[in-house]
Amino acid sequence: MAKKSSIGGWAYIWGGYAEAPIELEKVLKTLSELGFDGIEMAAFPPHLEANTKEKRAEVKKILDKYGLQVSGLAAPF
């Protein structure tokens, strides 16, 4: 079985991107195009505000659209 790879989504909302975070769907599209299998979701705004069933369904729909899985959840601190 081939190894799967994922990357931390928080990398696109902190540091050099703190002033202008990259939209979640754009990040997911790019990761998919680069061949990643998943993303470690940042469980805080602006990427993940999944405090309702509807919002979680929206995120799941986008993940499915790009064939990505969630490999982990980076909790806010």
67 within some domain: yes
15 within some domain: yes
19 within some domain: yes
- pTM of the predicted structure, to 2 decimals: 0.85
Strand order of the sheet with strand 69-74? 6-8, 38-42, 69-74
Distance, CA of 58 to CA of 54 (rounded, Å): 6
HSE-CB for 72 with a 13 A CA cutoff = 10
Summarised one tens digit per residue, pLDDT across range 47-63 is: 777 678 898 899 999 99
1 within some domain: no
Q: Which structural domain range is residue 62 located in?
A: 6-74
49 within some domain: yes
Number of domains the chain contains: 1
36, 7 in Cβ contact below 8 A? yes
φ/ψ of 10, rounded to 5, equals: -65, -20
40 within some domain: yes
34 within some domain: yes
Summarised one tens digit per residue, pLDDT across range 7-47 is: 888 888 888 888 999 999 999 999 999 999 999 988 877 77
